[in-house]
Amino acid sequence: MSKLELPALDQTACCSPMVREPLGETAAVDLARMFKALSDPVRLRLLSLIASHEGGEACVCDLTGPFDVSQPTISHHLRVLRDAGLVGSERRGTWVYYWVLPAALTRLSDLLQAPAVPVGAATGGDR
């Protein structure tokens, strides 16, 4: 009997029990893609700048000035943010407007607050 208990004790000493379901592989790929979009300082600042405007929306003409990179680079970064589902965009005549998609950001922050809370497959959708 004592022999049977020792292995169990060994495992208890090494392993703490799981208290919740960890993130699955499919969700991780999706979420990692969004985090990757945020993993560049310029892109992070772009998102912040857009969100700092009234209504969480800004014109591109307001986004190309404050950075030390060229206009095509800003455009490329905005594309990455959009493709990752973090912002939406629309051309209105001369100007193109970008806006944050709060649902996507909420999805990320929910994960970080309780990282192992099961995340549903719901998408934010466009504005």
Partner DNA sequence: TGTCAACATAGACACATGTCGAAATTGGAA
Partner DNA sequence: TTCCAATTTCGACATGTGTCTATGTTGACA
* Cα–Cα distance measured from residue 80 to residue 26, given in angstroms and rounded to the nearest whole number: 20
- Which amino acid type is present at position 39? S
Which 29-88 residues touch a second copy, going by CB under 8 A? Answer: 29, 31-33, 35-36, 38-45, 47-49, 51-55, 57-59, 61-62
* Cα–Cα distance measured from residue 45 to residue 43, given in angstroms and rounded to the nearest whole number: 5
* Cα–Cα distance measured from residue 49 to residue 58, given in angstroms and rounded to the nearest whole number: 8
**CB 99, min distance to a second copy, A:** 10
Q: Which residues bind a second copy (CB under 8 A)?
A: 14-25, 28-29, 31-33, 35-36, 38-45, 47-49, 51-55, 57-59, 61-62, 94-95, 100, 105-106, 108-116
